[in-house]
Amino acid sequence: MSPTTSSGPPKAQYFNVTSPETYIIHIEINRPNKLNAFFNPMWYELKALFDYYSHDPETRVVLISGAGDRAFTAGLDVAAASAPDQSALTSKSHSDPSRRATSIRRHILELQDVVSSVARCEKPVIAMMHGYAFGLGIDLSSACDIRMCLSNTKFCVKEVDIGLAADVGTLSRLGKIMGLTSFTKEICLSARVFTPEEAFQNNFISKIVQGTKADLINAGVEMARLIASKSPVAVQGTKNILDASWGRTVEDNLNYTAVWNAGMLQSSDVERAMTSGLRKAGTPRFEKL
């Protein structure tokens, strides 16, 4: 069943949700005393928020950042995740290997779906990273549409250091974002920390912000403001078609684009945008979507 907006946004204990400007939502990971590391309740809160704002007609762009000055997110709270009642991996409920493997697989798929809810969001999502962006920080940001960071950011695909292959999104998305290059394999295989400059040079981020965290947030809001001023029909269609191109040939995606725009070009947004440009009448106003 599709999420609805009738009951208002979901309550979240571990995320701050604000609206810095009309049509812009800022979701802030809020566990700064633990470097915004994730444990069980946070996963489900995050998915509920993105499912809601994906369909919310009052939202056109979503920003995501981390509370405090030290981290976007340091990744998984390993101590909490290792507790017997918190992880399918440490659970002793199944002694049979096949049944235990089934339980672990279901758990992984559930967590993958949380990160994928960020990628599935109909609205553009902008990641604003600072401090530590380790492990899950790469998973989450690689599911976003636009990534920018503060000049002090430390990036790391950390999972090999805790004995596993990253399994909730990084290894599936990073090669598509940066290319399956020597650099991509190096950072995933070594778990070494890499810099904003390396992230920029390898197309992981589009902007390095100098200054303070406040400067980073301002840069994110500025980009969100620009996107939110455009036709939501055009913006959401553009995101949809770009994302659809990942799994299609050029010819298949062209056909998909034609089918999509066969419906969407009938929007009043097209006429409003064209008329405003011809008359030099300033920024047009578009209906909610």
Q: How far apart are CA 127 and CA 205, in angstroms?
A: 9
Mean pLDDT for all residues in the chain:
91
Q: What is the mean pLDDT of residues 247-261?
A: 91
Contacts with 124 (C-beta within 8 Å, 6 or more apart), sequence order: 60, 61, 62, 145, 146, 224, 227, 235, 239
Helix or strand run (H / E) with residue 235 = helix 232-244
Q: How far apart are CA 239 and CA 147, in angstroms?
A: 15
Q: What's the pLDDT band for 2 if we cut at 50, 70, 90?
A: very low
Pair of tokens at residue 245: 């191109």
pLDDT tens across 8-30, in order?
899 999 999 999 999 999 999 99
Q: Output the CA angle 132-105-42, nearest 5 degrees.
A: 40
| Lowest-confidence pick of 12-16, 85-89, 163-167 | 85-89
pLDDT tops 60 at residue 4: no
pLDDT tops 50 at residue 180: yes
pLDDT of residue 82: 67
Q: What is the pTM of this model?
A: 0.90
> Who wins on pLDDT, 6 or 101?
101
**C-beta of residue 123 within 8 angstroms of C-beta of residue 62:** yes
- What do you get for the CA distance between the two ends of the chain, in Å? 19
Pair of tokens at residue 18: 């604000």
Numbered ranges of CATH 1.10.12.10 in the chain? 232-279
Query: Quick one: three-class SS letters along 187-207?
Result: HHHHCCCECHHHHHHCCCCCE
Q: How far apart are CA 59 and CA 218, in angstroms?
A: 18
pLDDT tops 70 at residue 253: yes
Q: What's the pLDDT band for 281 if we cut at 50, 70, 90?
A: low
pLDDT of residue 223: 98
The per-residue DSSP string of 95-130 comes to -SHHHHHHHHHHHHHHHHHHHHHHHH-SS-EEEEE-
Pair of tokens at residue 83: 């507790």
Pair of tokens at residue 62: 């979503």
pLDDT of residue 280: 66
Best CA proximity match to 186, nearest among 162, 210, 202, 208: 202
> Who wins on pLDDT, 86 or 164?
164
pLDDT of residue 14: 98
pLDDT of residue 29: 98
pLDDT of residue 1: 41
pLDDT of residue 171: 96
Place of tokens 């998915």: 47
Q: How many helices (H) and strands (E) does the chain have?
A: 11, 9
Let me know if domain 232-279 sits in CATH 2.60.40.10.
Answer: no
Pair of tokens at residue 30: 């809020």
Q: What is the mean pLDDT of residues 132-141?
A: 98
pLDDT of residue 274: 78
The highest-level CATH class for domain 15-228 is alpha beta
Numbered ranges of CATH 3.90.226.10 in the chain? 15-228
